[in-house]
């Protein structure tokens, strides 16, 4: 029984969220309760990181990770995953851009979080959720987001 409890504790520490995307190069989420998916890539830009989706299903997603909850840069956090980034302030941001509409950003909403759980074969796994707002005052909720993003070679 003790071994089972220790195994569960280790798993939850290693994987603070359920990054359950099964296909490499994809991102999945619920946008205002409606399922959405797209392709996804990630790259480092200086000491920060960006995870982006293709324009699919009417939306393009951009997640920016700068400083994790331990104060590490995204670049440093990659060397010692897992890491969690607030999607507001100095931690990072999220932007959801609809086709032909007003972009929603965590800078105009309640924010959220991005968790990076592991790297696999050049891919990066993690999950996210956030509340964003548009300049016209519309609120957009993104929940149950998970990804297995492929590394973008620049």
Note down the domain range covering 121: 24-151
What's the domain count of the chain? 1
pTM of this structure: 0.87
pLDDT at 90: 93
Is 87 inside any structural domain?
yes
Is 106 inside any structural domain?
yes
3-state secondary structure of 84: strand
Is 102 inside any structural domain?
yes
Is 19 inside any structural domain?
no
Is 2 inside any structural domain?
no
Q: How confident is the model at residue 20 (pLDDT cuts 50, 70, 90)?
A: low
3-state secondary structure of 124: strand
Is 135 inside any structural domain?
yes
3-state secondary structure of 140: strand
Is 39 inside any structural domain?
yes
Is 1 inside any structural domain?
no
Q: What is the pLDDT of residues 102-142, one digit of tens each?
A: 899 999 989 999 999 999 888 999 999 999 999 999 999 99
97-102-103-109 Cα dihedral, nearest 10 degrees: -140
Q: What is the pLDDT of residues 35-89, one digit of tens each?
A: 999 999 999 999 999 999 999 989 999 999 999 999 999 999 999 999 999 999 9
Q: Measured between alpha carbons, how far is residue 145 from residues 103, 150, 154 in Å?
A: 18, 16, 25
């Amino acid at each position: 029984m003790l071994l089972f409890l220790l195994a569960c504790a280790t798993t939850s520490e290693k994987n603070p969220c359920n990054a359950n995307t099964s296909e490499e190069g994809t991102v999945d989420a619920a946008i205002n309760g409606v399922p959405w998916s797209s392709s996804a890539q990630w790259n480092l830009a200086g000491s920060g990181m960006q995870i982006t989706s293709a324009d699919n299903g009417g939306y393009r997603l951009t997640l920016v990770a700068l400083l994790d909850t331990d104060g590490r840069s995204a670049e440093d956090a990659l060397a010692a995953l897992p890491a969690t980034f607030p999607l507001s302030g100095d931690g990072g941001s999220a932007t959801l851009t609809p086709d032909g509409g007003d972009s929603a950003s965590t800078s105009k909403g309640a924010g959220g979080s991005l968790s990076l759980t592991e790297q696999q074969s050049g891919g990066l796994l993690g999950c996210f959720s956030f509340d964003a707002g548009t300049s016209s005052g519309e609120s957009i909720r993104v929940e149950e987001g998970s990804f297995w993003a492929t590394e973008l070679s620049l």
